[in-house]
């Protein structure tokens, strides 16, 4: 799979994940929404690994590695938010999610211009 396609899917899934997370925090969590949130997080993690493998230039590799690190941080923060329910942790979780969307979008933009 091409890096451009991986970045587009990763960016789209990250946006869907952010909207789902926002709705969970706004309307409350039920088991179906939490499971869906976890499944999408795992898919984003896989997309990050695929992006790292599909990268050729140094900049692409750095951005892809950033996506992978942010995805791992997101999973750990998500577990902490679920366990502790801290509002401050929820905000940090959302801000890191925006960073993940941004990284995937930058990779897509770089590949789109080439």
Write 49-54 long-range contacts (CB < 8 A, 24+). 50/1, 50/6, 51/3, 51/6, 51/7, 51/10, 51/104, 51/107, 54/1, 54/2, 54/3, 54/6
The pLDDT assigned to 107 comes to: 95
Q: Is 16 exposed, middle or buried (0-12, 13-18, 19+ CB in 10 A)?
A: middle
Domains identified in the chain, total number: 1
The pLDDT assigned to 93 comes to: 94
Read off the pTM: 0.92
CATH code, 61:
1.20.1440
Quick check: 53 and 37 in contact, CB under 8 A? no
Domain that holds residue 12: 3-113
* Parts of the chain with a pLDDT under 70: none
Q: What is the pLDDT of residues 32-54, one digit of tens each?
A: 999 999 999 999 999 999 999 99
């Amino acid at each position: 799979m091409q890096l451009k396609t991986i970045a587009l899917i990763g960016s789209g899934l990250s946006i869907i994940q952010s909207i789902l997370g926002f709705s969970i925090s706004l309307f409350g969590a039920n088991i179906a929404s939490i499971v869906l949130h976890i499944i999408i997080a795992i898919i984003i993690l896989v997309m990050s690994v695929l992006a790292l493998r599909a990268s050729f230039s140094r900049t692409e590799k750095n951005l892809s590695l950033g996506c992978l690190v942010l995805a791992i941080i997101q999973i750990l923060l998500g577990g902490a938010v679920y366990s502790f329910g801290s509002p401050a942790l929820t905000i940090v979780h959302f801000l890191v999610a925006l960073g993940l969307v941004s990284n995937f979008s930058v990779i897509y933009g770089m590949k789109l211009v080439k």
